[in-house]
Amino acid sequence: MSRSAHPAGPRHADVLPEGHYTGPPADLNALDPRVWARTVSREPEGAVTVGGLDVRALAEEHGTPAYILDEADFRARCRAWQEAFGAEADVYYAGKAFLSRAVVRWLDEEGMNLDVCSGGELATALSAGMPAERIALHGNNKSLAEIERAVETGVGRIVVDSFQEIERVAATARRLGRRQRVQIRVTVGVEAHTHEFIATAHEDQKFGLALADGVAAEAVRRTLHHDSLELTGIHSHIGSQIFDMAGFEVSARRVVKLLTEVWKEHGIELPEIDLGGGLGIAYTSEDDPREPHEIAKALGDIVARECASAGIAAPRLSVEPGRAIVGPTAFTLYEVGTIKSLEGLRTYVSVDGGMSDNIRTALYDAEYSVALVSRSSQAPPMLARVVGKHCESGDIVVRDAYLPADVAPGDLLAVPATGAYCRSMASNYNHVPRPPVVAVNSGTSRVIVRRETEEDLLRLDVG
């Protein structure tokens, strides 16, 4: 594609109906380390490498689209979170962000705990050898089969989310002759500053038992009533992709208040509190996330202070980061297929994936960045929209992106920070097989989730 087909620079913003136009970055070849996995760099010759491997070789070997996951970065983030929280706290990785057996083994080796929220995630964890006592089971509507499997295999904690579930877990544990450790998921009444669909602690939504109207206190009474349950603590999760620590502080304060009430009413000091996950990551250079040690200090301080002023012993703290661990460790590698320059509007760059491998842009208006990674370019910036191959105009991967104006079919593009909630929310829309997850580490690549095939799709079609 000639440069003239892609005029340099953005068109007038007033003809562009929507989006955020912050202007092109100073250097389109630069890779912001906040957004890209740790071992990613651009070689002097122009192509990008990750884990010591050239993306062109990765595309050649594994095809595109593909999620490329930096194992060293994943492990380093697990360690950073654990070191930040120290021996007095527990870090549970939230498997919903992305889970596979290799990931479970890395977590196990790194001494992490694991939060699962379905029978499928539990089965994955157990099949990869995660010790059951280091697993927590979540969910607002766990099936009886899921509860039974969890109790039977001895998961360390079940986070109960309704009055019905207290009875179900109690009955299952009684029948199996177990005493199940449980936490109660409460709703603290915080409006977290994030997208409505991923905020979970305001009162009008499906999760948890409300602190405000005494429902949580009643759940404590009902749980304590059962000999087959051991109530170990209170759980709160306020939402996801949050940067502001204020919501966590309010949450911690309110949970400690409930602990104090439990102590006064029942004479029991509950030994644990879990403040959930939700810490934001950088999807673009505009985002400025907190480091784990800052988060650990803020949360640890507030819990210690609130407990001291309430005169109760500080409980053991746990957290459940998902996105903050796996999100930045992966990027999605795509090949450019077609390019359309719409006069007076923008240039549409179509890649070989789309909303089936990243639904977040369509679902949450999520913002991503993108880079040309198979080569560098000195061409001027061009305002582009990176779109997929699906039959919907909402099939947008990156809404507003500057790419070099000479981007052409066959080029490789990479969208960073796709480690969380992309493969785990991927679909087969339009019967498009889901991409593989390829782990890279120290010069080697390994498929940890293979590419789906048309045979895989047809195998389920038994009509």
**Residues designated as active site:** 391
- The C-alpha atoms of residue 144 and residue 146 are separated, in whole angstroms, by 5
Contact 210, 187 (CB under 8 A): yes
Q: What is the signed CA dihedral for 63, 64, 67, 71, rounded to 10 degrees?
A: 40
Q: What's the min distance (Å) between Cβ of 253 and ligand LLP?
A: 19
Contacts to ligand LLP from residues 28-87, by CB under 6 A = none
36 versus 368: smaller Cβ distance to ligand LLP: 368
Under rule CB under 6 A, residue 94 binds ligand LLP: yes
* Cα dihedral 282/284/286/289 (nearest 10): 0
Q: How far is the CB of 324 from ligand LLP (least distance, A)?
A: 6
What six digits make up the tokens of 154?
Answer: 């001895």
Question: Considering the rule CB under 6 A, would residue 157 count as an interface residue with ligand LLP?
Answer: no
Site membership for ligand LLP, residue 276 (CB under 6 A): yes
Which of 299/384 has CB closer to ligand LLP?
299
> Which region among 24-32, 90-98, 212-220, 393-401 touches ligand LLP (by CB under 6 A)?
90-98
Closest to 19 (Cα-Cα) out of 238, 345, 379, 442: 345
Taking contact as CB under 6 A, which single stretch among the options 143-151, 215-223, 272-280, 332-340 is the one that binds ligand LLP? 272-280
Give the nearest distance from C-beta 31 to ligand LLP in angstroms: 23
- Residues in contact with ligand LLP, total (CB under 6 A)? 23
- Specify the stretch interacting with ligand LLP by CB under 6 A; choose among 223-231, 304-312, 314-322, 376-384: 314-322
* In the complex, least distance from residue 34 CB atom to ligand LLP, rounded to whole angstroms: 17
Closest residue to bound ligand LLP by CB: 277
The correct pick among 24, 51, 95, 277 for binding ligand LLP (CB under 6 A) is: 277
Element (H, E) at 170: helix 163-175
Interface mask toward ligand LLP for 416-435; x: CB under 6 A: ----xx---x----------
358 binds ligand LLP (CB under 6 A): no
Exposure string for 419-431, b = 16+ CB within 10 A, e = fewer: bbbbbbbbeebee
Strand pairing category for 180-187 and 229-235:
parallel
- Per CB under 6 A, 138 contacts ligand LLP: yes
Closest CA to 185 of 231, 230, 228, 147: 231
- Residue 322 in the binding site for ligand LLP (CB under 6 A): yes
Gyration radius (Cα) of the chain, Å: 24
Sign of the alpha-carbon torsion through 422, 424, 430, 433: positive
360 binds ligand LLP (CB under 6 A): yes
Check residue 354 for interaction with ligand LLP (CB under 6 A). no
Output the six-digit token pair for 113. Answer: 């705990």
CA distance 336 to 377: 15
Burial class from Cβ neighbours inside 10 Å (0-12, 13-18, 19+) for residue 256 reads buried
Amino acid at 245: M
Tell me the closest approach of the beta carbon of residue 348 to ligand LLP, in angstroms. Answer: 24
| H/E element, 398 | strand 396-404
Least spacing, CB of residue 118 vs ligand LLP, in Å: 12
Residue 320 sits in the site that holds ligand LLP (CB under 6 A) = yes
Asked, as a colleague might, if the bond just before 65 is cis with ω within 30 of 0, I would say yes
Cβ 274 to ligand LLP shortest distance, Å: 8
Smallest distance, ligand LLP to C-beta of residue 370, A: 18
Task: Decide if 413 contacts 386 (C-beta within 8 A).
Answer: yes
Asked if 226 is part of the footprint of ligand LLP (rule: CB under 6 A), the reply reads: no
- Listed in sequence order, the residues at least 6 apart from 358 whose beta carbon sits closer than 8 Å to its beta carbon are 332, 368, 397, 415, 418, 422, 426
- In the complex with ligand LLP, the residue whose CB is nearer, 37 or 372, is 37
Note the residues at the interface with ligand LLP (CB under 6 A): 94, 96-97, 115, 138, 198, 237, 240-241, 276-279, 320-324, 360, 364, 420-421, 425
